[in-house]
Chain A
Amino acid sequence: NAGVTQTPKFQVLKTGQSMTLQCAQDMNHNSMYWYRQDPGMGLRLIYYSASEGTTDKGEVPNGYNVSRLNKREFSLRLESAAPSQTSVYFCASSERTSGVSSYNEQFFGPGTRLTVL
Chain B
Amino acid sequence: AQSVAQPEDQVNVAEGNPLTVKCTYSVSGNPYLFWYVQYPNRGLQFLLKYITGDNLVKGSYGFEAEFNKSQTSFHLKKPSALVSDSALYFCAVSALRETGFQKLVFGTGTRLLVSP
Does B42 contact A103, Cβ atoms closer than 8 Å?
A: no
Q: Which of B34, B100, B108 contacts A100 (CB 8 A)?
A: B100
B116 at the interface (CB under 8 A from A): no
Question: How many B residues face the partner with a CB closer than 8 A?
Answer: 25
A98: which of B43, B100, B103 is its contact (CB, 8 Å)?
Answer: B100
Stretch binding the partner chain, chosen from A11-19, A43-51, A60-68, A75-83: A43-51
B99 neighbours in A (Cβ, 8 Å): 50
Query: Which of B41, B46, B108 contacts A41 (CB under 8 A)?
Result: B108
Cβ proximity bits A79-117 to B, threshold 8 Å, 1 near / 0 not: 000000000001010101011111111111111000000
* Residue of chain B at shortest CB distance from A106: B104
| Chain B nearest Cβ from A23, distance in angstroms | 11
CB neighbours of B104 from chain A (8 A):
45, 106
Number of A interface residues in the complex (CB < 8 A):
29
Q: Verify A110–B43 contact, CB threshold 8 A.
A: yes
Cross-chain contact of A42 among B51, B90, B96, B103 (Cβ < 8 A): B90
Q: With an 8 A cutoff between CB atoms, is B101 at the interface?
A: yes
Interface residues of B (CB under 8 A from A): 9, 32, 34, 36, 41-46, 49, 51, 90, 94, 96, 99-104, 106-109
Instruction: Give 12 A-B pairs besides A102-B96, A103-B94 with Cβ atoms closer than 8 angstroms.
Output: A31-B102, A41-B108, A42-B106, A42-B108, A44-B106, A94-B102, A103-B32, A103-B51, A105-B46, A108-B43, A110-B43, A111-B43
